[in-house]
Structure 1
Amino acid sequence: MEITPQTKNHYLPSIADLLFFTILFYLSFYSKSDMLGDGDTGYHIRAGEYIINTLTIPTHDMFSFHAPPLLWTAHEWLSEVIMAAIHNAFGLTGIVVFFSFLLSLAHYLLFRILRGYKSNILWAIAIIVLVIGSSLIHWLARPHIFSLLLMIIWYYLLESWHYGRMNRLHLLPFIMLLWVNLHGGFLGGFMLLGAYLVGNLVNMLTASPPERGHYWQKCRQLVLTTGICLLACLVNPYGYHILLFPFKLVSDKYIMDHVTEFLSPNFHERMPFKYLLFLLITLFAVTKKRLDAAELVLVLLFTNMALYSARYIPLFALIVAPILTRQASWIQDIPENRITLFFRKRAENISKIDVSVSGYIWPSAAVLIVVIAVFFGRIHHTFDEKTKPVAAVEFLLKEKIAGNMFNNDEFGDYLIYRAYPQYKVFIDGRLDMYGTNIMKDYYKVIKFEHDWEKIVSKYRITWVFFDSDSTLSRYLLKDTNWKLIYSDKVASIFVKNLPEYRNLIEKYPSVTPYIPEDTPNARR
């Protein structure tokens, strides 16, 4: 067989392939991956193990000491089962690699979608880079990654139907059946359905009489699809209550105002999101191409969500990416000069190579390499002992301290992962379950608000497990009613000066408290 340049190109990796294995290799092989930067991963794993071991979906909390047990909607139960199964087989390394694969696949698919618009390939590359940069803040080994992937698939199916490329609306209820049991982000699917429904209603009202029937038919299809998807949502352990859960969460103003990931973006930080937002505004200002009504609804809806909460920035990024790519026709209208000609020529050459590439050999090879590396122990991931209370929890496992603890919420996540059922926490990452009252009590203590001591008595707290560099730890160091029995750079453990802790206090009579180097006391 004659080998032509086209044949050689056939075996080169495409841009999408490069994107896939770059993300997969970086997240899998980089030893300090931030995928385990959030302790929530730990309680998700233990929740999944509980479900597997008991063959029941929990309706009440089992990880905290609160009595009676708190009502708990484990809305991510299927994700947690998957995570527990992977963890039992491959440990935390398997968890990181699995979610790295999902993130790689999600952005691989998104870029393939962007390339489908036949726009300038350099523009598509620039958009996907901004999307990735904007989404990095939420690349964590947690169930929301399932929502990110399913959102891309859902969006593609709806958009393809909307523009008449293909009709696969019948697949949406099956996706929803899976999605509703994986993560609360399933509500995003209904937002997209609603946006396209509103868009087609606007098109119907503004269209000429002969065209109104077409849009009316599209509206009917969307209403029917939405109804079937709603029925599919009921196939979950909590019935119709699962539909109310996301609304209950976002309507709790106290939680939304006090949980970091629900706060608005901090534009004083370096955020690719703001550049993506600026690009969106600029493009709408200079392009002559009019937005479709559905596109306008999507942009307004998800821009508002991203500005309200940084948690929604990744969703905003993947929603505006196809819109920005389609609107890029203005690039062709730029007058030719030496610079524009250079970039157009490069784009054409890259595009020719990219189009000639086919198959999935490179993504498959990348997955195989990572699997082999995991099998032979070449990849290892665990919680970072510099940010998580790894050593402190080992101390707790050795000493077996009795009584009710007061703990940092992030420490609660790791403690559930490492020390459940020996220890039960005051609070952890399931803040929606704990609710406003317990959260207010938590903040009243750590902020030393009026009558904070009464909260300690209310919950019969006899020991404290908190970060060393905190106001609470500094206060307890000076309070003779509390004794420090352990301290490192991450966590300190205090017990009340009570007879039941006499042995512990005598065993650790002079623990050196950790004082950060940048504090005035340390400098003195």
Structure 2
Amino acid sequence: MTENKIIKNIKITIFFVTIFLLTVLFVVVRSEADLDLWHRMAVGKIFSQIGWVIYHDIFSYFPVKEMWVDHEWLSGVIFYYIINWFGDFGILTLQILIIFAILILVYKTNKLIWLENKYRISYYAVVLLAIIPGLSSTLRCQAFTYLFFTLWLYLLERIRRGDNRFIWVFPVTTLLWANMHGGFLAGFGLIGFYIIGDFFNKKDVKKYFVILGLSLPMTLLNPYGIKYWYYLVDAVLMERPYITEWQAFEPFESIYNEPGAKLLFLFLTVGYGYKIFRKQFGFDKVEIITLLITLFLLFRHERHTTFFAIAAACYGYRYFVAFLDAIFDKFRNKVLKLIPEDRIEQAYFAKYCGVYVLLIMISGYLIFSNHISVKMDMYPVKAVEFIRKNNISGNLFVPFNWGSYTMWKLYPKNLVSIDGRYEETYESQSYLDVCYLSFFKKDWEKVLNKYNHDALLLGVETEIYKKIKTLPEWKLVYEDEKAVVFLPALSKRADWQMPVEDEEYYIKTKYENQISF
């Protein structure tokens, strides 16, 4: 093996090790338990006991739909078994592997579109920063959508270059994707972008229709059949008020809001602007259509940021390189003049190793200085433990963000007002009623009297807590720094057992519950 080959292999190894460690670092420092994890775990636990899904809700006392169509049921099964077997380590490792796989697919797509021998870790650090908001807080089912979306984009780029060996991957992954997350629609949208783009590029598009013909029927292989599609149409068209990630993206609201996506947008804008300035108008229509539509979706709903980030990461590498070269070329040339010509390669290699070793050391230190576990800071863990410990049973009103955790910990003794399954399970009015009461909006009093609440679990810093505290029909029985518990004033009990104060107790016992069939 030649010296250049050895150096190249060392560079590649260091490059991928650094990307992996940066991924681990991002996951470890943002390992808060996701709000949806708990109802996903509940689905998985039910599946482990009866061997199938259930078709009606059993967890809520608010009005629910006649049929529970769970578009994420397979993700829930995977999450449950991984956590049941491997605990926090298992779910965090799966998250790391999914994010790392997305970055590798972006890298391979970059090499397809624009071959360059350099390995620019700064670009992939920006990409990681751009995609991580949609993939943080342990693991969400949509992570599988982002993984399959990136895989499909990479394979479509190969196919449009004449490599048709991987067409079979589309129907196989569709079968998995459609049962893991309803976001598989984004994959078919992506194929649509390629059909339209390559039609205007005057290229053959028949192979894309073959992919659609093979893949679309696979979406019917799910526990709900055609009813799954009825649910999807409703879910896509419905409004989602009060849910932050479904609101319009405000790019100037804060510099800390989606900084990675903003940087990718900057690179693309500069790159396209430079091409137009140089009168280089040979734009790829697929690229333009995909970027414009994902950008439009981003501005409509912040949740779609990751789709734009992935598309921009795959198509934008050459613009990033042009951006850096325009800034640093003159400085680089001046430095190179100071180095003997026969030492330039060694100087590049020394710089490369120095930068990467420093990144590896910093990442390693930060990773191992963090306690690697799924954290519980967002949840009313002590208030829920108070309810469990004192056998307070019946209908428990909870805000939307706490519903899934409360359901996981307190079922079957308690039914909840709502949880993160939202449009899968609940009538629209049920969700609005919960929001009216939780956020002290119009009709809050009507909602308070409309349903048969046996207890209220509320945030301690909310306006509704202050109001309920003044009502003679309710009495405060528990309060901590995060949450309060109210019972009807007619309740005479006074000998309450207080929850454990040690936060580690709640981290260690977070996966314990009484769901049983």
Structures share fold, TM-score greater than 0.5: yes
- The structure 2 residue matched to 1:480, chosen from 452, 457, 472, is 472
CA shift at 1:236, angstroms?
1.1
CA shift at 1:336, angstroms?
9.3
What whole-Å deviation, never above 9, does each CA across 1:324-372 have from its counterpart, x for those lacking one?
A: 12456756995996315369999x9699969x99xxxxxxxxxxx9xxx
Amino acid at match of 1:18: T
Partner of 1:388, secondary structure, is coil
Corresponding position: 1:285 with 2:273: yes
User: Quick check: 1:63–1:420 contact (8 Å CA) kept in 2?
Assistant: yes
Rounded Cα–Cα distance in structure 2 between residues aligned with 1:332 and 1:451? 56
Amino acid at match of 1:502: K
Which residue of structure 1 lines up, in the alignment, with residue 142 of structure 2? 144
- The verdict on how the C-alpha distance between 1:136 and 1:26 changes in structure 2, with shifts beyond 3 A counting, is closer
Moved more, 18-27 or 323-332: 323-332
Rounded Cα–Cα distance in structure 2 between residues aligned with 1:417 and 1:52? 15
User: Quick check: 2:248–2:302 contact (8 Å CA) kept in 1?
Assistant: yes
What whole-Å deviation, never above 9, does each CA across 1:184-216 have from its counterpart, x for those lacking one?
A: 111111011100111122233xxxxxxxxxx3x
Partner of 1:169, secondary structure, is coil
Q: Extract unaligned runs of 5+ from structure 2.
A: 354-363, 500-517
Which residue of structure 1 lines up, in the alignment, with residue 61 of structure 2? 65
Q: Runs of 4+ in structure 1 displaced over 6 angstroms?
A: 342-346, 350-354
Corresponding position: 1:274 with 2:262: yes
- The verdict on how the C-alpha distance between 1:455 and 1:440 changes in structure 2, with shifts beyond 3 A counting, is same
- The verdict on how the C-alpha distance between 1:285 and 1:478 changes in structure 2, with shifts beyond 3 A counting, is same
User: Quick check: 2:267–2:319 contact (8 Å CA) kept in 1?
Assistant: no
CA shift at 1:68, angstroms?
6.8
Which residue of structure 2 lines up, in the alignment, with residue 236 of structure 1? 222
Superposition pairs for residues 107-506 of structure 1, below 5 Å? Answer: 107-116=103-112, 117-119=114-116, 121=118, 124-138=120-134, 139-140=136-137, 141-164=139-162, 167-204=165-202, 215=203, 218-253=204-239, 255=240, 257-267=241-251, 268-269=253-254, 270=256, 271-272=258-259, 273-287=261-275, 288=280, 290-327=282-319, 330=322, 338-341=330-333, 380-384=372-376, 386-432=377-423, 433-498=425-490, 501-503=491-493, 506=494
Which residue of structure 2 lines up, in the alignment, with residue 15 of structure 1? 15
- The structure 1 residue matched to 2:84, chosen from 70, 81, 88, is 88
TM-score, normalising length from structure 1? 0.80
Amino acid at match of 2:92: V
Amino acid at match of 1:306: L
Rounded Cα–Cα distance in structure 2 between residues aligned with 1:15 and 1:195? 32
Which residue of structure 1 lines up, in the alignment, with residue 50 of structure 2? 54
- The verdict on how the C-alpha distance between 1:198 and 1:411 changes in structure 2, with shifts beyond 3 A counting, is same
Rounded Cα–Cα distance in structure 2 between residues aligned with 1:284 and 1:223? 30
Q: Among the aligned pairs, what percent are the same residue?
A: 24
Partner of 1:502, secondary structure, is coil
Amino acid at match of 1:282: V
User: Quick check: 1:121–1:351 contact (8 Å CA) kept in 2?
Assistant: no
Superposition pairs for residues 96-115 of structure 1, below 5 Å? Answer: 96-115=92-111
- The verdict on how the C-alpha distance between 1:25 and 1:448 changes in structure 2, with shifts beyond 3 A counting, is closer
Rounded Cα–Cα distance in structure 2 between residues aligned with 1:342 and 1:427? 64
Rounded Cα–Cα distance in structure 1 between residues aligned with 2:75 and 2:386? 31
User: Quick check: 2:459–2:482 contact (8 Å CA) kept in 1?
Assistant: yes
User: Quick check: 1:62–1:69 contact (8 Å CA) kept in 2?
Assistant: no
Amino acid at match of 1:456: L
Rounded Cα–Cα distance in structure 2 between residues aligned with 1:303 and 1:350? 42
Partner of 2:454, secondary structure, is strand
Amino acid at match of 1:290: G
What whole-Å deviation, never above 9, does each CA across 1:142-180 have from its counterpart, x for those lacking one?
A: 111111111111110001111335552232111111111
Moved more, 135-144 or 224-233: 135-144
Partner of 1:258, secondary structure, is coil
- The verdict on how the C-alpha distance between 1:456 and 1:51 changes in structure 2, with shifts beyond 3 A counting, is same
Rounded Cα–Cα distance in structure 2 between residues aligned with 1:335 and 1:11? 28
User: Quick check: 2:250–2:299 contact (8 Å CA) kept in 1?
Assistant: no
User: Quick check: 1:70–1:434 contact (8 Å CA) kept in 2?
Assistant: no
Partner of 1:36, secondary structure, is coil
Partner of 1:280, secondary structure, is helix
Rounded Cα–Cα distance in structure 2 between residues aligned with 1:490 and 1:502? 25
Moved more, 16-25 or 44-53: 16-25
Amino acid at match of 1:74: D
User: Quick check: 1:131–1:314 contact (8 Å CA) kept in 2?
Assistant: no
Rounded Cα–Cα distance in structure 2 between residues aligned with 1:477 and 1:223? 62
Matched residue pairs, number?
466
Supply the RMSD in Å over aligned alpha carbons.
Answer: 3.3
User: Quick check: 2:72–2:141 contact (8 Å CA) kept in 1?
Assistant: yes
Partner of 1:382, secondary structure, is coil
CA shift at 1:290, angstroms?
2.6
Rounded Cα–Cα distance in structure 1 between residues aligned with 2:294 and 2:246? 14
Which residue of structure 2 lines up, in the alignment, with residue 209 of structure 1? none
CA shift at 1:399, angstroms?
0.9
Rounded Cα–Cα distance in structure 1 between residues aligned with 2:132 and 2:327? 36
Amino acid at match of 1:279: F
Q: Extract unaligned runs of 5+ from structure 1.
A: 205-214, 358-368, 512-524
What whole-Å deviation, never above 9, does each CA across 1:115-148 have from its counterpart, x for those lacking one?
A: 44323746x5443222211222222311111111
Amino acid at match of 2:238: D
User: Quick check: 2:242–2:435 contact (8 Å CA) kept in 1?
Assistant: no
Rounded Cα–Cα distance in structure 2 between residues aligned with 1:328 and 1:440? 44
Amino acid at match of 2:6: T
